[in-house]
Amino acid sequence: MKTQQRKTSFFLTFFILFLFWVIFSGKFDSFHLSLGVISCFLVIWITSDLLLVTPDMAKFIRLFMGFTLYIPWLIWQIVLSSIHMIPIILSPEIEKKINPRIIKIKSRVRDEVGLVTFANSITLTPGTITVAANIHGDMTIHAIDDECAASLPGDMGEKIAKLFAD
């Protein structure tokens, strides 16, 4: 990493950590704020190879904007599929309503963070659970019925592929 990039990512990480400090402490006098500055410096100094965020500011801002649009959509999907699960669970003949199976899909996402986001989004949506995923985009998914199995990769895969496309 170049010195300039290192500086940018240092200040970005510091800003994020300090924001969390302020939220969790809730005290704004100089004593607590200076304690926060000292501990943020200590944390960054000790974990500098693990914690520093991506030095590419343009990419960081684009990802941030993408996520602010993606997360409300994901929450809406969670609401829809939770409502889809209600009649299944409450039906008297539950074993007729469900059809659990393991399916394999191929995702276009190649980025590592993108794959983690995709796998976690699939698991967060009730009705589908990611069993395994690898770097080539092959994913194994356990789905509870035909409708949940048919909905993959679908819109979610498209959105994440667009979000992490370079």
Partner 1 sequence: MTVYISGLLIVGGLFFFLIGSIGMIRLPDFYSRLHAAGIIDTMGLLLSMSGLALLILSDFNLGNILSALKIILIVVFIYLTSPTATHAIVDAGIRAGLKPWSKK
78 is a contact residue toward partner 1 (CB under 8 A): yes
Asked whether position 127 contacts partner 1 by CB under 8 A, the answer is: yes
Closest C-alpha to 17, from 66, 46, 49, 51: 51
Q: Which is nearer to partner 1, 8 or 107 (CB)?
A: 107
Q: Which of 2, 3, 24, 49 binds partner 1 (CB under 8 A)?
A: 24
What is the size of the binding site for partner 1 (CB under 8 A)? 32
Q: Does 38 bind partner 1 (CB under 8 A)?
A: no
**Interactions with partner 1, residue window 130-159 (CB under 8 A):** 130-132, 142, 144
CA gap 153, 157 in Å, rounded: 5
Under rule CB under 8 A, residue 16 binds partner 1 = no
Across the strands, what pairs with 76? Answer: none
E-only strand ranges, 45-121: 101-106
What's the CA gap between 10 and 139, in Å, rounded?
Answer: 35
- DSSP annotation string for 118-140: HHHHHHHSTTEEEEEE-TTSEEE
Contacting positions for partner 1 (CB under 8 A): 23-24, 26, 75, 78-79, 82, 85-86, 89-90, 94-95, 98-102, 119-120, 123-132, 142, 144
